[in-house]
C-alpha cells in the first residue's frame, strides 16, 4: 500500500503519558488549553455514576484543525487523550499542539491506535520533532496495522 493511501486511512489515535509517569492533566486544564487555542471549542464533562455523581473523569471535546472539527475524548482516570476518525496527518498536528500546551516539558507522549490495540501492539513513543517527523512514525504504525489485517505479520 502506498504512503499516500495510508495517509487517507482514518482511525482513533490514543495519546498517553509513558507508563509510570503523569502529565498532571486535569479536565479543567485541558479545556482551558483548548479554549485558549480556539475560543468556543466544544467541551462536555461526563458524570460517571459508578464513581458518584460528582466524579468528573472524562470529557468529550472538539479540536478545530483547518476549519474541520475533530472529535475527541480526554480522561484523567486513565490519563490520556483520544481523537476519533482522524488521519495520521491530523493526529500528528494535534499531538504537536498537545505537547506544547498540555504535556509538561520533558514528559513523554506515547501513542497507539484503536486497531493497534486490537492487535496488541505495544504503545510507541511520539518522537521529538516537527509534525512531519511524527507523521512518518504514525504512517509506519498504520502500515503495520494494515499488514496485520492482511495476515502479513509473522
1-25 per-position pLDDT tens digit: 566 688 899 999 999 999 999 999 9
Burial 20-42, CB ≥16 within 10 A → b, else e: eeebebebeebbebbeeeeeebe
Q: What is the pLDDT of residue 55?
A: 57
Residues 109-145: tens digit of each pLDDT: 999 999 999 999 999 999 999 999 999 999 999 999 9
The pLDDT of residue 43:
85
Domain boundaries, the chain: 3-149
Residues 20-49 have pLDDT tens digits of 999 999 999 999 999 999 888 888 887 665
**Helix or strand holding residue 146 (H, E):** helix 131-149
Give this prediction's pTM. 0.90
Q: Which residue has the cell 504512503?
A: 3
Amino acid at each position: 500500500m502506498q504512503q499516500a493511501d495510508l495517509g487517507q486511512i482514518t482511525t482513533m489515535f490514543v495519546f498517553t503519558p509513558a507508563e509510570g509517569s503523569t502529565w498532571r492533566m486535569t479536565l479543567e486544564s485541558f479545556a482551558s488549553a483548548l479554549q485558549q487555542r480556539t475560543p468556543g471549542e466544544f467541551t462536555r464533562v461526563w458524570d460517571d455514576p459508578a464513581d458518584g455523581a460528582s466524579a468528573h473523569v472524562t470529557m468529550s471535546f472538539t479540536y478545530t484543525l483547518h476549519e474541520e472539527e475533530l472529535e475527541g475524548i480526554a480522561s484523567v482516570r486513565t490519563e490520556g487523550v483520544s481523537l476519533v476518525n482522524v488521519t495520521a496527518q491530523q493526529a500528528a498536528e494535534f499531538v504537536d499542539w498537545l505537547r506544547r500546551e498540555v504535556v509538561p516539558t520533558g514528559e513523554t507522549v506515547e501513542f497507539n491506535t484503536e486497531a493497534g490495540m486490537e492487535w496488541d501492539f505495544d504503545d510507541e513513543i511520539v518522537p521529538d520533532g516537527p509534525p512531519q517527523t511524527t507523521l512518518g512514525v504514525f504512517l509506519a504504525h498504520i502500515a503495520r496495522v494494515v499488514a496485520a489485517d492482511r495476515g502479513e505479520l509473522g
